[in-house]
Amino acid sequence: MKHLMLTAAAVLAAGQAHAEAHDTAAASVDYGPRPAYLVGKLEEGALKDKLSSCANQTGSQTKFSIGHRGAPLMFPEHTVESNRAAAGMGAGILECDVTFTADKELVCRHAQNDLQTTTNILVSDLADNCTSGFTPAEGETEATAECRTSDITLDEFRTLRPKMDSFDAAATTPEEFQGGVEPWRTTLYSNDATLLTHAESIALFDELGADFTPELKAPVVDMPFDGFSQEDYAQKLIDEYKDAGIDPSRVWPQSFELDDVLYWIENEPAFGAQAVYLMDEYDTEGYDPDDPATWPNTMAELKGMGVNYIAPPIWMLLKAEGGKMVPSALATEAKAADLGIITWSLERSGPLAEGGGWYYQSVAELIDGDEDYLNVTDVLAQDVGVAGIFSDWPATVTYYANCMGL
């Protein structure tokens, strides 16, 4: 009995320590200068008045603000440093894009085949392991390479050095290929950045007081891979949260594959209740988020399958109408079906002076400056009713959410 009492006391102490750690993390939010810079660029009006009134607010962590691969606007994505920066900006949920190595261990990478642009593999001793080695640019043909996490073991993965996601298409050497960083990003925080396994990301995010949104990335290898099936892969992702003792209410597992989401709903219902269907219907010929007749599934049908959260890109939720940004039919019908909506990814497009590119294509005529990051956020929050926004620089979303009481 004494042993049991000591064990219970230890559990209570651990819980209290976690709560205190969470409070500490939430209390240490630093917006930095960017939110104020964006607010200053807004046209005079109610939104600017409201956001300006919060200039001296004390920042707090919020689940409305989701770190997209950490804070990759300035930090190498999916690294310890990128995620610490995101948490420091108040991101209440952090993301690990999950893929696997040759020995079927889960690691954080945006794609199974992006090591050539996100690490130094091409200038390391592992270059010969790559699926397709470096081919130099010649004439109008760009330089290429393809290096997969499944080309190397976990131990080998740990030897790589992460870098900003980039490549120089005109490169004639592997060393030159390491360049190509967009001028609005930076390499200032790339030195000695630290890669993460999925299990390590769980421990880190928990330490930072944040919740979790792991994305099961589509394999580029044929499945099953050496006996490792898609179902094994989806299950292993969940198992690593169970092994770490993480409450399912803190986890939002994601996938672009509806079958993965349905697997979690059926086989891991506690985790499946918050499984997020990342919508890529935009790849379907003729698809129009404002025309339900073109949708593979209606929002009500998805809800009927047990899906509770969808995550379309920003442009699928908005349209231009009467000189304003308003919710698309997709956004309206998702809300009517009682689906939670998460969207991606703010501040991934760099300067918005030329319409914002892919993420803002449905409202490009209304996008003409960086202040539109805040205008878009306001429409998504107030009119669409999103539950959270992925951002490459979470401070902006955190500032808005704190000011608006979200």
Domain that holds residue 170: 111-193
Same domain, 325 and 394: yes
Q: Calculate mean pLDDT across residues 63-87.
A: 98
Q: Calculate mean pLDDT across residues 72-91.
A: 98
Q: How many domains does the chain have?
A: 2
From start to end of 1-146, where are the E strands?
Answer: 62-67, 91-94, 97-100, 106-108, 132-135, 144-146
Q: Calculate mean pLDDT across residues 384-403.
A: 98
Last residue of a domain, one of 144, 159, 193: 193
Same domain, 61 and 130: no
Q: How far apart are CA 99 and CA 157, in angstroms?
A: 12
Token readout for 209 is 């007081």
Burial class (CB in 10 A: 0-12, 13-18, 19+), 4: exposed
Same domain, 327 and 206: yes
In a domain, 220, yes or no: no
pLDDT computed for residue 8 by the predictor:
29
pTM above 0.85, yes or no: yes
Residue with tokens 């630093």, as numbered in its chain: 30
In a domain, 390, yes or no: yes
Same domain, 173 and 287: no
Same domain, 122 and 160: yes
Residues contacting residue 110 through CB under 8 Å, at least 6 positions apart: 69, 77, 78, 97, 118, 165, 217
Same domain, 49 and 172: no
pLDDT digits (tens, 9 = 90+) for 240-276: 999 999 999 999 999 999 999 999 999 999 999 999 9
Same domain, 25 and 140: no
pLDDT tops 60 at residue 358: yes
Same domain, 152 and 121: yes
Phi and psi, residue 85, nearest 5°: -65, -45
In a domain, 83, yes or no: yes
What are the C-alpha distances in Å from 294 to residues 228, 285, 290, 310?
A: 35, 9, 9, 17
pLDDT digits (tens, 9 = 90+) for 2-58: 222 222 233 223 333 333 444 434 447 999 999 999 999 999 999 999 999 999 999
What are the C-alpha distances in Å from 13 to residues 27, 227, 245?
A: 21, 42, 15
Length of the chain: 406
pLDDT computed for residue 71 by the predictor:
98
Residue with tokens 């703010």, as numbered in its chain: 346
Same domain, 167 and 296: no
pLDDT computed for residue 11 by the predictor:
27
Residues contacting residue 107 through CB under 8 Å, at least 6 positions apart: 98, 99, 100, 101, 149, 154, 157, 195, 196, 197, 198
In a domain, 323, yes or no: yes
